[in-house]
Amino acid sequence: MKKDLLLLRNIKDGDQNSFKLFFKETYPALFGYVNSHARNRVLAEDITQQSYIKFWENRNKIDLENSPKSYLYTIAYNTFLDSKRKEQKERNYMDQLHRSAIEEEASDKEKLEQKLERLQTVIDTLPDKCRKILLMNKIDGLKYREIAEKLDISVKTVESQMRIAFQKVRESFKNEEVILWCLFGNFLGKN
């Protein structure tokens, strides 16, 4: 008992060798205690080390009349609780991010569907020849020259009709940042 009291006085006075001796004597039992709560060896090692650091940093609070081991175990238990609170807080934050991402994705899909419906409406209102040329280009993937040959018209006519089609689509989406080829890509995926 006298040896323990001397050891604690020395620790309280900042003697690192006394602290090292205290550490070696108490580490296995403290680690076992923390690990029984944490049930995770890596976490238990981390908490045990943090507990000794806090014990050293707060050595001036050591009460020589009471058990320093009890003080150390209290520090360890509180450190464990803090880690659990932090873990729960992080889990809640990640859950919130996940929920937000799902809600945003659903909202984005809904907006995309609305744009695709609007695009379909615009295409449906195009003059027959204009619509046919647009669809041959965007859905069938034909080049202007191929369209001109199939319809027995000039390439200039195809260009003119495509310009009219794109102008109508642009007018319908004028207040939105829409990349038309991306929208057409989604449109093609639906058909």
Domain count for the chain? 2
User: Which residue segment(s) compose the domain that 157 sits in?
Assistant: 125-190
Residues 6 and 83 in one domain: yes
pLDDT computed for residue 90 by the predictor? 81
pLDDT computed for residue 1 by the predictor? 56
pLDDT computed for residue 177 by the predictor? 53
pLDDT computed for residue 64 by the predictor? 81
- How much is the pTM? 0.52
Residues 22 and 84 in one domain: yes
Residues 87 and 132 in one domain: no
The reply to whether 164 falls in a domain is yes
Domain containing residue 173: CATH number? 1.10.10.10
Sign for the CA dihedral angle at 45, 47, 53, 55 comes to negative
Q: How many whole angstroms separate alpha carbon 136 and alpha carbon 106?
A: 32
What are the mean pLDDT values of the chain's consecutive 10-residue runs (191 residues total)? 80 94 95 94 94 94 84 94 89 77 74 80 90 87 91 92 86 64 49 43
